[in-house]
Every structure is written in structure tokens, then in C-alpha cells.
Amino acid sequence: MTQFPEKPSSESGCAAKSDAIEATHAPPVPIEVDAAASLAPGVEVIKSYWQHAPIGPGVYRMIAADGEVLYVGKAKSVRKRIASYLRGGGHTSRIARMISLTASMVFVSTETETEALLLETNYIKQMKPRFNVLMRDDKSFPYIFLGGDHVAPQIAKHRGARDRKGDYFGPFASVWAVNRTLNALERAFLLRSCSDSYFANRTRPCLLYQIKRCSAPCTGEISADDYAKLVGEARDFLSGRSRAVRDLLAKEMAEASDALDYERAARLRDRVAALSAIQGEQGINPKSVEEADVFAIAEEAGQFCIEVFFFRTYQNWGNRAYFPRADKSLAPGEVLGAFLAQFYAERPAPRLILLSHDIEDRDVLERALRERMGHRVEIGVPQRGEKKDLVEHAAQNARETLGRKLSEGASQEKLLAALAAAFGLDRSPRRIEVYDNSHIMGANAVGVMIVAGPAGFMKAHYRTFNIKDEDLTPGDDTAMMREVLRRRFTRLVKETASGGEEDSDAFPQRPDLVLVDGGQAQFEAAGAELADLGIDNVAIVAIAKGLDRDAGRETFFVAGKEPFRLSPRDPALYFVERLRDEAHRFAIGTHRARRKKDFTRSPLDEIAGIGPARKRALLNAFGTAKAISRAGLADLEKVDGINAATAKLVYDFFHGEGGG
């Protein structure tokens, strides 16, 4: 891979027809004469870089004057792809904006188009360019883990790297789906879910054994051979042989009943019922598709929804909806192609991927996934049969989910309009920031900012602030709020000082409305803090709790008005209460997390040079930090992994001038 330098003579870029998305399928929006003229500077910049662009495959980045990465693309021939930007017109409005903002380009040459696709995907995920399609939720999926490294294997929920020996079943669409399935599997197969350390220290069966959700191998309530049989049955069930397992248990239940062993028959009956519950809750279970991910995209009012269904071992393991950020001029197939490349960037791919729309770089993506997974991966758009039915079912869900989101968005717009009317704003706020703080008598004080907009709560924009002012009087809520506002808006001023104009389609970084928890004092303090920073175009509203903290009796403080209340039936009041309660929830949760961290902090954490390994060695040798503090220097030196210098460091910490 070759990185080209950063001057027109040597900088480079790699364009993508691919998943990074160029609007080649969407009909171009004609560019007006004056708009075409505005493209000229960008076209000249691109032309100067085009002369030195790689002829072969690679990745290119289009960069604005302030250094923002506008777009990342890939191409089989970067130079040919860049040439498409040199036209003075005929572009969609999205491409025209992108060209007009381009001040420089960077190219990376790759050996193959497949390598270019993978690099492009990594750049998009890291840089989040405004003109690319972005997958906004990249959380890992949960799996069910069945251990293979213990005499009594554990069954548990798993996320992240698969570094433990055993079998992984999934993915599941949500933690809720995994928990539901795990609960049923515990009842059906009586496998332990406890950790290995908990297992090793049991002297009698735990509660799960009493409620018939574990066979208690920890205390020998079941033999190793019988437990291994249960593990085998669970593995068979999760591997797709669920009907055979159910038939076997049903046969054993009948035999136990015939032998008048009604207690065993009842246990087997409960296990069969648990298995039936799993299969009954999984919805559509295909007969001819053993393993597949099904993707369907819906588009309406310039928004996209991608519904994903996961099928493993002929069973439906759930579905999840995504709302990628994409320009409305893009065709559904372009958005879906870009989404797929990002979706599988860090996730394992099944052997079959079914799509509602064809994608341009299907062959390239297949090769990339095959190389990474080590097995054949087929991507198809089915036209008939059960596979087509699965895609249509996903498409129906995508349309319904997008319809619900648009309906919720319309309701949100009405609430924002009501809020603007209630507080005398010129227009509906696009970004609302709500501030609150939490502490106990000034201890572990934290401030928080939550953000809301037309799409609801924007949790990716939430922020927490550890109160740092040592001169602050403990419990002074007004001073805490001033510190939080000062830090937040000082940073905002620095970030926007040289950032140019904000994209009108993007969620704004600057708030239209600031809500603070408090009364007249907090309102005046917030106004003074923003005035000190030269910010005078942000509306500030303070919310004072009602008498006896009754919801619905809040008093509001707004510039240019006397303090007032809203009608108990005013939708704006309900909306403000939701915002305030979300800020309060976030503040309390953040405060509790910090307090818990302080509770579990060890004095050893304060000793420079004592890392996790040495800390573990000392605790293994002495048991507690208190015992370490009482240990003599000679005893400390005897601990494995602790040399004489480290032992003296620990001893001096507890017994010297800096000791506790």
C-alpha cells in the first residue's frame, strides 16, 4: 500500500463507486449557472491532484480548507474516478457541494480493489465524513457461549473477542433476545451460568439449583458423565438439531411415565416445555436456509431504514433496525452497499447474505468477506422461493419501522414548535441542551449535559463533567452549573472559531436553547457565563421545581418575561419534564458510577509504578490492602514479581511521609 504525499504534485486520493457511495444511479439535479460557477475553485483543485492520481486501485479523501474530511471513496482506477468530478455541471446537489468545498486531496494506492474496499471502510468508520453513508450504530452483537475449557462447561452471554475455547452461537439481535433464550436454555438443559471462580468456591448448591435452573455440578449433585450429556444436548439444540433433541426428551419422558417414575417425567416435561418456548418465540424459522443474514432497505421522505434479520441453524435469532446517515439523493442500493461494507468491517459474516436491492460492488465485497472469513460468502438478491419470502418479510418490517420513526419525528416536531411558542423563540429549536448536576454534600460532584433535537434524545452527544474547581463551596449548585457551562461553551467557541459554515443538513453542534435546572439565581448565572464568552444568540431557560417538587407546577425563567407557569395540559410542559427527567436520570447514574469507583479504589492505585500485575501479586500474597500496609519490608520483598526497589516504594508509601 502506498501513501502519497500532501501536495498537488504528490497528494492523492482514491474514489469509490463502491460502498462509500457516489450517486451514479440517482438522477442528477441540474446545477444552476451561478452554482456551476461556485464549483470552479473546487474543480481546479481536483484537477491539480488528478494529474498525479494513481492509475490503479486505491482510496482517496476529499478534504476541506479547515482539514475536515468531506468524503472517502475507492475505485478500481483512482484517476478515472477523479476525472468524473472535473465536469463543470450535471452533478447532484450533494456532489456539487462536495466539490465546491474541496481544498485538497489525499490518495492511498492499494494492490487490489478488495484491499481498497477494506481500507475505505476503515477510513469511513474512523473519520465519519459528512458526504459518506454512515452506519450510526456499530455496537457488537451478543452471542451465547458454551464453554469447552472446563470439566463442567458454562453457558453464558458473550460479547467481543472470541478468545475462550468453546462454541459461540448467534448473533442475536439484542441482549433481550439472548437473555430470554438463556433463561429457557437453563430450564431446558440445567447448565451452570456462574463464573469459574464462583463454581470453584461452592460448598452447597445455589438458588438456581433449588428453582430447577441448574443441575449443580459444582457440588456433585450430578455426575460428570450426566452433565456432559446435558452439554451435548444443548450443543445439538443450538447447532440446529433442535427437533431431534425434543423428540429424544419426549421419548425419555414417555418411558419415565410408563415406568411410573413421575418425578423424572415431570422434570423432562418441563425441559420439553422450555425448548418449545424458545422455538415458539423465534417467529419465522426457515426450512431451507440454515445460515443467513437478511437485509432489506426502505426509503421515505429522504430517510432510510435497513432491517437486518439473523438466521442460524434454521432458526430466527431476531432482527434489528438501522437508520444510516445518507444523502436523500442516493439510491437505496447505494446506501445498502455502503452500509454492508461497514456492517461487516468487524463482524463475522455468514455463508449467505440476502438483499432486497442489488449493490454495485457485490463481487468485491464477496471476495473481501471470503478472504477475511476463510470460507465462501455468497451475496444474492433472491427472486423466488423461501429466500425471497424472507427478504420480503424483512422489507415489510423496514417499511413499518421507518413509518413509525417518521410518525414519531412528526410528533417531535410538534413538541419543538410548542416549546418555541411557550418560550417565545423565533423558530423551533434544532438542538436543545439540558444541564444538571448531582452530588452528596458536594462529594463526587458531577455535571451533565443531555441533548435533544428533531430525532429525539441524541445520546451520542451527551457529556459528563467532573467538577474540578477546588475553591468551590461544597454543595454550591449554582457555581457547579457555571463551571460546566464555562467548560462546555469555551470548548465550543474554540471548535467553531475556524470551522466555517456548518452543514445545514447535519445535526448542529451549537444549541438554540439551553435549559438549566434551577431558579432565578441559576438563570442569571447561566446568562452571565455565556455573556462573558461573547455568546448572545442562545436562548436560556431555567426550570424551578414546583411546590413540594410536584410535576406540573414548575416555574420558568426566560429573558424578557416575568417568571411563569405553563398549563398542566400544555404539551410543551410535558416535553420539558421529559427533558429534565432525562437529565436528572443521566446525572444520578453518572454520580453513582463515580461514587462506586471511589468505593472500590485501592490505596495501591495511588502508588506510582504499581500496575495491575504487581497489585495482583501483592493482594494474592497478603489478601487486603490493609494487610499490605502492615507488612514489613522483608515480607514485601518475598512476594513473587516484587523486587527490592518496588518493595521499598510500597513500604515508604504506607510508612513514609506520603503514607496513608
Whole-number pLDDT of residue 265: 77
- Note whether residue 78 is domain-resident: yes
Q: What pLDDT score does 658 carry? A: 44
Residues 451-491 have pLDDT tens digits of 998 888 888 899 988 877 766 676 677 888 888 899 899 88
pLDDT digits (tens, 9 = 90+) for 350-389: 999 999 999 988 999 999 999 888 889 999 999 999 999 9
pLDDT > 90 fraction of the chain, expressed in percent and rounded = 23
Q: Which segments within 245-397 are labelled E, that is strand?
A: 292-300, 303-312, 315-322, 352-355, 378-380
pLDDT at 170: 76
Whether residues 546 and 455 share a domain: the answer is: yes
Residue 297 clears pLDDT 50, i.e. is over it:
yes
Query: pLDDT at position 383, please?
Result: 93
Residue 354 in any domain: the answer is: yes
Q: Residue 596: is its pLDDT beyond 80?
A: no
Domain termination site, one of 281, 311, 334: 281
CA atoms within 13 A on the CB side of 432: 30
Q: Could you tell me the CA-to-CA distances from 370 to 46, 342, 351, 352, 376 in Å, in that order?
A: 35, 16, 9, 11, 5
Q: What is the rounded CA–CA span in Å between residue 551 and residue 533?
A: 34
- Residue 482 in grid coordinates: 457555571
State residue 499's pLDDT score.
52
Range from 444-458, 495-509, 625-639 that averages highest in pLDDT: 444-458
CATH number at residue 621: 1.10.150.20
* Band of residue 105 on the pLDDT scale cut at 50, 70, 90: very high
**Angle at the Cα of 87 from the Cα atoms of 86 and 91, rounded to 5 degrees:** 115
Count CA within 13 A, CB hemisphere, residue 343: 22
- Check which CATH number belongs to the domain holding 363 and give it: 3.30.420
For residue 305, what are the β-bridge partners?
Answer: 298
Q: What is the pLDDT of residue 332?
A: 92
Residue 503 lies in a domain: no
Tens of pLDDT, residue by residue over 500-547, are 445 555 788 889 999 998 888 889 989 998 888 888 889 999 998 766
Are 533 and 632 within one domain?
Answer: no
Residue 625 confidence (pLDDT) above 80: no
- Pairwise CA distance, residues 57 & 60, whole Å: 10
Helical H segments across 313-384, by residue range: 332-343, 362-373
Helix, strand, or coil here: 539?
Answer: strand
CA distance 91 to 80: 16
Do residue 476 and residue 578 come from a single domain?
yes
Same domain, 218 and 305: no
Residues 160-185: what's their mean pLDDT? 80
Peptide bond into 171 cis (omega under 30): yes
| Residue 133 placed within a domain | no
Band of the pLDDT at 449, cuts 50, 70, 90?
very high
Number of domains in the chain: 5
CB 130 within 8 A of CB 503: yes
| Whether 180 and 240 share a structural domain | yes
Report which residue type is found at 624: T
Is 414 within a domain?
Answer: no
Residues 461 and 584 reside in one and the same domain:
yes
Same domain, 196 and 89: no
Say what the pLDDT of residue 284 is: 58
In the predicted structure, residue 31 carries a pLDDT above the cut 80: no
**In this model, does residue 112 exceed pLDDT 50?**
yes
Number of helices (H), then strands (E), belonging to the chain: the values are 20, 19
The dihedral sign for the CA sequence 13, 19, 21, 23: positive
| C-alpha dihedral sign at 167, 170, 176, 181 | negative
Count Cβ atoms within 10 A of the Cβ of residue 561 and give its class: 0-12 exposed, 13-18 middle, 19 or more buried.
Answer: exposed
What the block records as the C-alpha cell of 494 is 474554540
Query: 260 with 297, same domain?
Result: no
Could you give the CA distance from residue 20 to residue 131 in angstroms, rounded to a whole number? 9
pLDDT in tens, 602-624: 677 677 778 778 887 887 777 77
The band of 240, judged by pLDDT with boundaries at 50, 70 and 90, is low
The residue to which cell 440454515 is assigned: 290
- Of the two residues 259 and 43, the one the predictor is more confident about is 43
DSSP letter for each residue of 471-507: TSPTT-HHHHHHHHHHHHHHHHHHHHTT--SPPTTSP
Whether residue 36 is predicted with pLDDT greater than 70 in this model: the reply is no
Look at residue 14 in the predicted model and tell me its pLDDT. 36
CATH number of residue 57's parent domain: 3.40.1440.10
Rounded mean pLDDT, 619-633: 78
pLDDT band at 295 (very low <50, low <70, confident <90, very high): very high
Q: Which residue is listed with cell 421515505?
A: 300
- Say if 70 falls within a structural domain: yes
Counting residues of the chain whose pLDDT is more than 70, the rounded percentage is 83
512 φ, ψ (degrees, to nearest 5): -90, -25
The answer to whether residue 199 is domain-embedded is yes
- Banded pLDDT at 572 (limits 50, 70, 90): confident
Task: Using the 3D structure, point to which of 281, 304, 329 is the last residue of a domain.
Answer: 281
Question: What integer is the mean pLDDT of 214-239?
Answer: 87
Kindly report which listed range (98-102, 602-606, 637-641, 649-653) carries the lowest average pLDDT score: 602-606
Domain limit, last residue, from 598, 616, 644: 598
Same domain, 277 and 365: no
Q: Domain of 645?
A: 603-655
Of 26, 34, 145, which is closest to residue 91 (Cα–Cα)? 26
> Same structural domain for residues 331 and 185?
no
Least confident stretch, 146-155, 390-399, 608-617 = 608-617
- φ, ψ for residue 161 (rounded to 5)? -65, 145
Looking at the structure, tell me whether residues 200 and 101 fall in a common domain: no
Give the model's pLDDT for residue 328: 83
- Predicted local confidence at residue 175, as pLDDT: 78
> How far is it, in rounded angstroms, from Cα 481 to Cα 517?
9
Closest CA to 347 of 510, 197, 628, 135: 135
Q: Does the structure show a pLDDT above 60 at 416?
A: yes
Please state which of the ranges 548-552, 628-632, 651-655 shows the lowest mean pLDDT. 548-552
The pLDDT score that the predictor gives to residue 388 is: 93
Q: Report how far Cα 295 is from the mean position of its chain's Cα atoms.
A: 19
Q: Is 172 left (phi over 0), alpha (psi -120 to 50) or beta?
A: beta
Q: What is the pLDDT of residue 11?
A: 37
pLDDT at 32 (0 to 100):
40
Among candidate residues 11, 20, 15, 12, the one with its CA nearest the CA of residue 122: 20
Under 8 Å between Cβ of 106 and 67: no
Indicate whether 592 and 613 sit together in one domain.
no
Q: What is the pLDDT of residue 13?
A: 37
Comparing CA positions, the residue from 313, 304, 234 lying closest to residue 275 is: 234
- All three cell numbers of 401, joined, read 419501522
Look at 451 and 631; give whichever has higher pLDDT. Answer: 451
Decide if 424 is inside a domain: no
